[in-house]
């Protein structure tokens, strides 16, 4: 009986880890887009807000050059699962 009770307690303690919500495809896409933007020489250093809804990526913020804005779109489109990119980046120095 003690072993049964110990087993039940052990299994019950593992349930919260199992019940954690898995990352959604949109969350994974957002993380990958952010990583690509952060390390790319043409866009890094900018301030970005990346949101994803049903595979549609929206990028907001600022970049220093038109090349950086264009590059951000290209980088986002390369991420698996991206259906469309709405690039709302503003070109210019931070305010």
Q: What is the pLDDT of residues 26-83, one digit of tens each?
A: 999 999 999 999 999 988 766 789 999 999 999 999 998 999 999 999 999 999 999 9
CB distance 36 to 79 below 8 Å: yes
What gap in Å lies between CA 45 and CA 25, rounded to an integer?
26
pLDDT exceeds 60 at position 15: no
* CATH code for the structural domain at 21-91: 3.30.1340
Domain boundaries, the chain: 21-91
At 20 the three-state DSSP class reads coil
Confidence (pTM): 0.73
């Amino acid at each position: 009986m003690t072993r049964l009770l110990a087993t039940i307690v052990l299994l019950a303690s593992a349930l919260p880890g199992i019940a954690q919500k898995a990352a959604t495809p949109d969350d994974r896409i957002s993380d990958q887009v952010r990583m690509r933007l952060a390390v790319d020489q043409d866009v890094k250093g900018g301030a970005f807000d990346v949101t994803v809804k049903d595979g549609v990526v929206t990028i907001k913020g600022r970049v220093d050059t038109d090349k950086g804005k264009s590059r951000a779109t290209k980088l986002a489109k390369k991420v698996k699962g991206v259906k469309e990119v709405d690039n709302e980046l503003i070109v210019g120095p931070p305010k």
